[in-house]
């Protein structure tokens, strides 16, 4: 397949209007660019040069950077999925482009009042795609309602859904919803950031949830046209009937339809036809589900599947740390980690700066690898002079246990260590940085420590580095003396091989890497900085 030409890529600018780009900036400021990586420092430069960014990205002829980072991420029941972080400029474009078609995609879905497509009903405000919430409680209630009406249920889900979405089918879905030009623009953009591979959308950005729902519009319609009642949460599908035979026939036909039209398949070991009451007992009303609700009640988190803004600071009693720690110990008794409960506990502890969980979580970090991002964000919020020594000791235990051979653990702990002088100045804790790929966190550590020699060692070979590492060295140059910094960076900026983002980074660093205030928006409820949702990009329903 040929690489999309500049002519074809020109169409993406129809989706990156100034309004869409401003939404993208507010969204990426309030939340993350991806659920699975720390936020890149390049966004500081992009907000500083925002007028130039808007001019370039809304003009014809702009081409994506197309060099996303991908790492394996542990799944709760074993194995790994591949997750992504787009180049920061591509992240802006992706969120803006999807925002431009999001209302049309929502209008093309089954009406929310039919209670079929329960997941992530799209309703935007100046910051978010999903003001209405994740829809998980609607999904659960609808399962119970249909199970009371029908004797049998077919439970199934699509295998490795996000990574196997066929881009041409996505283009068709968006074109039907929003128009041919919009669908083709998105397809060409995704081909460019996919290294020209025609399958898969990025796993991590909130915008991917919107596109995944577009792909499944015809899947919902297919089941409805067969006269069946069903409910869907992302790629997890539950079909109800009084006839076991009818469900088996549907399963055969549905398997064929998915393959023929989407090149998708179902997970065999998770596909079954059972009595509805047994389904309820096993998946919705089992002993662990009851215990889970008790845990959530104890920590006063009513909806673990909603926006993080619902987990806000609150007045806690002196026993809060012991209560949260006990809740962790209860979920650790189960074979598989419950993502939602673990996140809810960590986010409650983070919001209220409850420090008692820190050492326990570090020592149990292998068990919590599927939520290592939330674990480290919690640690970052509660680290201080009173516990830094104990945290260093616990990280040394992780080094001994080879915990940092896990790519995601190494990524997040490298980010965390690089931010805290008390950690990065410790000889053993600093070894964590050697497990991360590239120079980004070593550059951040150099800034934290004021390590001028690190910058001088790397600046002369900066042109031989890849784009992420090159920007890391430019970022670290902020700690050089002004004369040395400005002379080197101005000379570097004249090199014709630099990208626009490199040059914007240089201008930002020369200006002193200033923090730029958030972009103004119409009055809305203040967002909470953090992941937009307790998103599970796994194939599993997050029971």
- Helix axes of 440-449 and 452-459: crossing angle, nearest 10 degrees: 140
Instruction: For residues 442 and 493, give the distance between their C-alpha atoms in angstroms, rounded to a whole number.
Output: 23
Determine the pLDDT at residue 136: 84
**Each residue of 145-158: pLDDT tens digit?**
999 999 999 999 99
Q: Which residue has the higher pLDDT, 272 or 12?
A: 272
Determine the pLDDT at residue 293: 53
What is the pLDDT averaged over residues 267-283? 90
What is the pLDDT averaged over residues 370-396? 96
Q: Which residue has the higher pLDDT, 237 or 311?
A: 237
Instruction: For residues 182 and 174, give the distance between their C-alpha atoms in angstroms, rounded to a whole number.
Output: 7
pLDDT-derived band at 15, boundaries 50, 70, 90: confident
Q: What is the per-residue burial (b if ≥16 Cβ within 10 Å, else e) of 66-94? A: bebbebebbbbeeeebbbbbbbbbbbbbb
Number of Cβ within a 10 Å radius of residue 490: 12
What average pLDDT does the structure give for the chain?
88
pLDDT-derived band at 6, boundaries 50, 70, 90: very low
Instruction: For residues 298 and 324, give the distance between their C-alpha atoms in angstroms, rounded to a whole number.
Output: 8
The helix/strand/coil state of 406 is coil
Instruction: For residues 353 and 382, give the distance between their C-alpha atoms in angstroms, rounded to a whole number.
Output: 5
C-alpha separations of 512 from 25, 62, 208, 317, 478 in Å = 21, 28, 35, 43, 7
What is the pLDDT averaged over residues 368-380? 96
**Each residue of 194-214: pLDDT tens digit?**
888 889 999 999 999 999 999
With a cut of 80, say whether residue 29 has pLDDT above it.
yes
Determine the pLDDT at residue 367: 95
Q: What is the DSSP string of 498-522?
A: --HHHHHHHHHHHTT----PPPP-S
Number of Cβ within a 10 Å radius of residue 260: 9
What is the pLDDT averaged over residues 219-248? 96
Determine the pLDDT at residue 132: 85
With 0-12 / 13-18 / 19 or more C-beta atoms within 10 angstroms meaning exposed / middle / buried, residue 5 is: exposed
Contact predicate 101/93, CB 8 Å: no
**Each residue of 481-538: pLDDT tens digit?**
999 999 999 999 999 899 999 999 999 999 999 999 999 876 655 554 445 444 444 4
* 162-165: long-range pairs with CB below 8 Å, 24+: 162/200, 162/201, 162/202, 162/203, 162/208, 162/212, 162/537, 163/81, 163/82, 163/199, 163/200, 163/203, 164/199, 164/200, 164/263, 164/264, 165/199, 165/200, 165/201, 165/211, 165/212, 165/215, 165/262, 165/264
pLDDT-derived band at 286, boundaries 50, 70, 90: low
Contact predicate 83/73, CB 8 Å: yes
Closest residue by Cα to residue 432 from 467, 403, 472 = 403
The helix (H) or strand (E) run that includes residue 71 is: strand 69-74
Instruction: For residues 369 and 383, give the distance between their C-alpha atoms in angstroms, rounded to a whole number.
Output: 20
With a cut of 50, say whether residue 331 has pLDDT above it.
yes
**Each residue of 53-106: pLDDT tens digit?**
999 999 887 888 888 999 999 998 889 999 999 999 999 999 999 999 999 999
Determine the pLDDT at residue 140: 87
Determine the pLDDT at residue 66: 82
Give the range among 336-340, 375-379, 500-504 with minimum mean pLDDT: 336-340
What is the pLDDT averaged over residues 298-309? 42
Give the range among 7-16, 123-132, 303-312, 319-328 with minimum mean pLDDT: 303-312
Residue 220, token pair as written in the block: 């919902």
Percent of the chain with pLDDT over 90: 72
Using only C-alpha atoms, the chain has a radius of gyration, in whole angstroms, of 24
Closest residue by Cα to residue 519 from 78, 69, 43, 136 = 43
Determine the pLDDT at residue 310: 45
Instruction: For residues 230 and 239, give the distance between their C-alpha atoms in angstroms, rounded to a whole number.
Output: 4
Q: Which residue has the higher pLDDT, 543 or 167?
A: 167
Determine the pLDDT at residue 321: 85
């Amino acid at each position: 397949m040929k690489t999309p030409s500049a002519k074809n890529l020109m169409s993406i600018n129809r989706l990156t209007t100034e309004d869409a780009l401003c939404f993208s900036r507010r969204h990426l400021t309030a939340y993350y660019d991806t659920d699975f990586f720390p936020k890149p420092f390049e966004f500081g430069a992009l907000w500083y040069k925002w007028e130039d960014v808007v001019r370039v990205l809304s003009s014809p002829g702009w081409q994506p950077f197309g060099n996303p980072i991908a790492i394996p991420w542990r799944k709760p029941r074993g194995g790994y999925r591949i997750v992504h972080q787009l180049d920061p400029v591509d992240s802006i474009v992706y969120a803006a482009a999807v925002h431009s078609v999001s209302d049309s995609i929502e209008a093309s879905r089954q009406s929310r009042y039919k209670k079929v497509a329960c997941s992530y009903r799209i309703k935007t405000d100046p910051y978010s795609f999903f003001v209405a919430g994740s829809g998980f409680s609607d999904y659960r209630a609808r399962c119970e309602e249909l199970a009371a009406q029908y004797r049998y249920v077919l439970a199934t889900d699509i295998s490795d859904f996000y990574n196997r979405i066929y881009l041409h089918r996505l283009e068709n879905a968006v074109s039907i919803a929003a128009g041919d030009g919009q669908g083709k623009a998105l397809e060409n953009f995704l081909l460019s950031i996919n290294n020209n591979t025609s399958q898969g959308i990025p796993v991590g950005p909130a915008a991917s949830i919107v596109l995944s729902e577009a792909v499944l519009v015809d899947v919902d319609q297919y089941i409805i046209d067969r006269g069946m009642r069903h409910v869907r949460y992302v790629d997890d599908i539950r079909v109800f009937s009084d006839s076991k035979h009818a469900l088996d026939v549907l399963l055969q036909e549905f398997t064929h339809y998915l393959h023929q039209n989407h090149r998708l398949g179902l997970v065999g070991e998770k596909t079954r036809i059972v009595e509805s009451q047994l389904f309820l007992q096993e998946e919705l009303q089992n002993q662990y589900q009851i215990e889970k609700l008790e845990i959530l009640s104890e920590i006063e988190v009513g909806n673990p599947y909603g926006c993080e803004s619902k987990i806000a600071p609150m007045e806690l009693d002196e026993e809060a740390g012991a209560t949260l720690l006990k809740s962790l110990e209860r979920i650790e008794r189960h074979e598989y980690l419950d993502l939602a409960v673990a996140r809810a506990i960590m986010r409650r502890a983070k919001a209220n700066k409850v420090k008692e969980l820190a050492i326990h979580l570090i020592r149990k970090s292998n068990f919590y690898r599927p939520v290592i991002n939330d674990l480290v964000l919690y640690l970052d919020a509660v680290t201080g002079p009173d516990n830094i020594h104990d945290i260093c000791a616990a990280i040394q235990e992780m080094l001994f246990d080879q915990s940092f051979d896990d790519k995601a653990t190494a990524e997040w702990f490298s980010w965390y260590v690089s931010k805290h002088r008390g950690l990065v100045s410790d000889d053993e804790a600093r070894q964590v940085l050697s497990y991360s790929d590239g120079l980004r966190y070593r550059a951040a550590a150099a800034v934290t420590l004021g390590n001028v020699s690190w910058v001088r060692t790397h600046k002369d070979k900066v042109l031989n580095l890849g784009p992420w590492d090159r920007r890391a060295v430019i970022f670290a140059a902020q700690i050089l003396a002004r004369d040395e910094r400005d002379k080197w960076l101005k000379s570097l900026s004249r090199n014709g091989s630099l990208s626009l983002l490199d040059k914007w980074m240089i201008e930002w660093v020369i200006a002193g890497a200033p923090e730029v205030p958030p972009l103004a928006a119409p009055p809305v409820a203040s967002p909470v900085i953090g992941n937009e949702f307790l998103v599970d990009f796994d194939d599993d329903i997050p029971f």
